[in-house]
Structure 1
Amino acid sequence: MRDGKMADNIVEPCESNPPGSVNDLSEETKKEADEFKEKANEYFKKKDYSQAITFYCEAIKLNPTVAAYYGNRSFAYLKTECFGYALTDASHALELDKTYLKAYYRRASANMALGKFKLALRDFEAVMKARPGDKDAQAKYTECSKIVRRLAFEKAIAVDDGKKSIADQINLESMSIEDDYSGPTLEDTSVTLNFMKHLMETFKSQKCLHRKYAYQILLDAKKLFANQSSLVDITVPEGKKFTVCGDIHGQFYDLMNIFDLNGLPSECNPYLFNGDFVDRGSFSVECIFTLLGFKLLYPNHFFMSRGNHESITMNQMYGFEGEVKSKFSQQMCELFTEVFQLLPLCHCINNKILVMHGGLFSDDTVTLDDIRKVERNKQPPETGIMCELLWSDPQPQCGRSPSKRGVGIQFGPDITKRFLQRNRLDYVIRSHEVKQDGYEVAHDGKCITVFSAPNYCDTMGNKGAFVTLTGGELKPNYTTYEAVVSSICVTVSCRRPHL
């Protein structure tokens, strides 16, 4: 599958002419275009990718015949995770120059992010043939080839009805607690408030939860989520507070800051975390066990929605699988997959606010009942309601557009208005996108984005935010905050574009 974060104000691909259509450019025009490219490169070096894209666009407008302009803009789109745009630009570059090897890398990286591993493998193979001594190309080809073979093997042996659940293979009784273990312990296999407080202090000290308790939490969480609908209804009583948080992405210390600012979850202080709990940050394991622990402690007052990162491919590409293997085991990775597949897809607050990770739909007729009927116990499909709930984004103009991510759609204010009217809702809250202030209000106040991971990936410089509502009027209030500690952006080598 694909990733999902983008900076604000991303410029769409733009050319005044199709690639290669201009043959009689003056030297002055070529020089001016190259100056824009150099300016874009300077912004790229400063990690201001949005501004870099703006100037690459200007260069392309003046001279749409240079493959490197598209290749560079493709790289900037990869950095802002607009994989659909990155793929298009890399292909344009190759239309102009079949020997431009960097474009093969860009296109392969975009296809990897889109889960199109066979296409990515083809491009890595092209680079390897052109540069047989290139160790980086060989490594990427080998890694991508392993993924393709593994997926083919899994498909060959898959027997849907007979496949045994990982959860059924876990034997907790065989797991002993070492005498020197000093971390939190479950009380009669149950999560308590004391356990959660001890757990958070343990994680703050960068110590580990014992694997027996980790497995117990996952097994209990799986049972709990299995009994929920794809759309969960939430009631917030008159005058009571309710908090909605966006993406956390493994930024554990920023998660702790949310609780410092807004209070620990409790029956009197309920929360909804709106997907993308893991990947990217270095402490995804700590984040997910903290959230699942609170879910078990307060099942009717703590809620979790699935994000696009709660999927196998995303976890393989963006760090979570590697982190779980390092801290626990491959078996636990597979159990996480079973838990993630049962996470609800969205929540409806007081029959007035729909909260989902991504956005709205390519079909105007979708109702809340349609969402409730979605079979979610699977990996996200490429199209349809589940896909769009996890992947879609708002756009300022009316109508619908292809997604800059390469999956889902972009939907305008008219689409939001019709959906709300059809389903008798007041507004939607979604996450999925970096916003400079941690939140954004769009579509005449009817579409709110909240993103709770400040200074995302240690590069974006954004604030984090959460939304608080009060039962009754349900007016959104916003709290913003800066990052409290730097965290490492975890990636896998196969997705790093070649420089």
Structure 2
Amino acid sequence: MFSSKHVKPKELVKDVMKRLEKNGASETTLHESEIIEICYRSREQLMCDESVLDLQVPITVVGDVHGQFQDLMGVFELNGHPSKKKYLFLGDYVDRGQYSIATIVLLLCYKLLYPKNVYLLRGNHETRLINRVYGFYDECTKQYSTKLWMLFQTVFDCLPLCARISERIFCMHGGISPEIKRWETLKKLRRPTEIPDFGVLCDLVWADPSKNVYGFSENPRGVSCIFGENAVYEFCQNMKIDMVVRAHQVVQDGYEFFANRRLITIFSAPFYCGRFNNAAAMMSVDDDMRCQFYIRRPKDHAWSKKIPKSSMRALNEFSDLTIAETVSVKYFIKDLAEENVRKGKNNPS
């Protein structure tokens, strides 16, 4: 039986990472003792980050992954390994997909080995009530134990809730909250914590934009709120930012604009649940604050084919990475300044 007692923690993490990268999720055996060690180390590492991450460009933003291990590997194959590129993940690493354990374990390995290049936010599926129902609990208990599932929840409780990129782009999994008027509100958030049924923490992982509402209203999901375009404009003005980036919803092209491009939804799990013929997207922000959206589309119904066991071999099932659209954040800064002038207000600092 495998034992990690005599293996140095960093060497153990490297070994797990290399096995997953080389063999893929379906052909890699992870011992429970290895996962436990990674979870304990990850809690410590995650708590070294602030609840509101202050990140700098260049950086690549990735949306929902949902246990689609092969597609996660595709991100790194096409955009660069975390040892060389900086990534911000917006949450929802588990549930729905077939390989939730391998997906979250690999991301935690990257966080441990490259803590300044990999940042993980919390999604609504990184909560007990949700991943108890939508697949992660069953995967943990069938392959390992209920105790391991419970240990993962303590790791999720340590995940940061939001991030700010170069003081101009605000990122979270879900959406904005009527209770957030200034940065001090967010900086008061404490971890580890469970997600409550209402309030700022709940909204950050659950809220959705809607064209059919002015301000904030009840969410049809039955939790948190929905918010309109005017709420996004007001939020950007109050927080002195130019763009909100979130995930949480399937969008056909992998990314979608809202509120005159002030809010962007990014979804990075293609062919979601095997039912949606959606593309995957990621957003790269360069040193000049230009945002480029990279998408991967299926070719000729390739999504309907059985994906090979090797995640690397699966890449030939997809179209090449393409630059779908380039948007400069400087445009938003200029636009916001002009808008404030029209309203007779001071330009944002």
User: Does the alignment reach a TM-score above 0.5?
Assistant: yes
Q: 1:215 to 1:278 in 2, by over 3 A?
A: same
Matched, 1:406 2:226: no
TM-score scaled by structure 2? Answer: 0.81
Q: 1:228 to 1:486 in 2, by over 3 A?
A: farther
Deviations 1:27-65 (A, max 9, x none): xxxxxxxxxxxxxxxxxxxxxxxxxxxxxxxxxxxxxxx
Of 54, 61, 66, the match for 1:249: 66
Q: Distance in 1 between matches of 2:254 and 2:160?
A: 24
Percent identity, please: 36
Tell me what 1:211 maps to.
32
Tell me what 2:23 maps to.
202
AA partner of residue 297 (structure 2): E
Matched, 1:177 2:12: no
Show the 5 A alignment for 1:416-435.
416-435=232-251
Tell me what 1:288 maps to.
104
Deviations 1:292-335 (A, max 9, x none): 01000111110000000001111111010110111221111111
CA deviation after TM superposition for structure 1 residue 375, in Å: 2.7
Tell me what 1:385 maps to.
200
CA deviation after TM superposition for structure 1 residue 352, in Å: 1.0
Tell me what 1:466 maps to.
282
Q: CA contact under 8 A between 1:463 and 1:480: conserved in structure 2? A: yes
Q: CA RMSD in A?
A: 2.1
Number of aligned residues: 300
Q: CA contact under 8 A between 1:436 and 1:463: conserved in structure 2? A: yes
Task: Report which of the two has the higher share of strand.
Answer: 2
Tell me what 1:188 maps to.
8
AA partner of residue 206 (structure 1): E
Tell me what 1:302 maps to.
118
Tell me what 1:79 maps to.
none
**Rg: which structure is higher?**
1
Tell me what 2:170 maps to.
354
Q: CA contact under 8 A between 1:196 and 1:293: conserved in structure 2? A: yes
Q: Distance in 2 between matches of 1:209 and 1:223?
A: 21
CA deviation after TM superposition for structure 1 residue 290, in Å: 0.7
Q: CA contact under 8 A between 1:345 and 1:376: conserved in structure 2? A: no
SS of 1:294's partner is: helix
Tell me what 1:220 maps to.
41
SS of 1:334's partner is: helix
Of 215, 224, 231, the match for 1:415: 231
User: 5+ unaligned residues in a row in structure 2: which ranges?
Assistant: 308-349
Deviations 1:437-457 (A, max 9, x none): 011011111101000011111
Of 445, 454, 459, the match for 2:270: 454
Q: CA contact under 8 A between 1:341 and 1:379: conserved in structure 2? A: yes
Tell me what 2:336 maps to.
none
Of 112, 122, 128, the match for 1:312: 128
Q: Distance in 1 between matches of 2:16 and 2:42?
A: 16
SS of 2:10's partner is: coil
Q: Distance in 2 between matches of 1:291 and 1:411?
A: 31
Of 139, 142, 145, the match for 1:326: 142
Q: CA contact under 8 A between 1:215 and 1:332: conserved in structure 2? A: yes
TM-score scaled by structure 1? Answer: 0.57
AA partner of residue 207 (structure 2): S
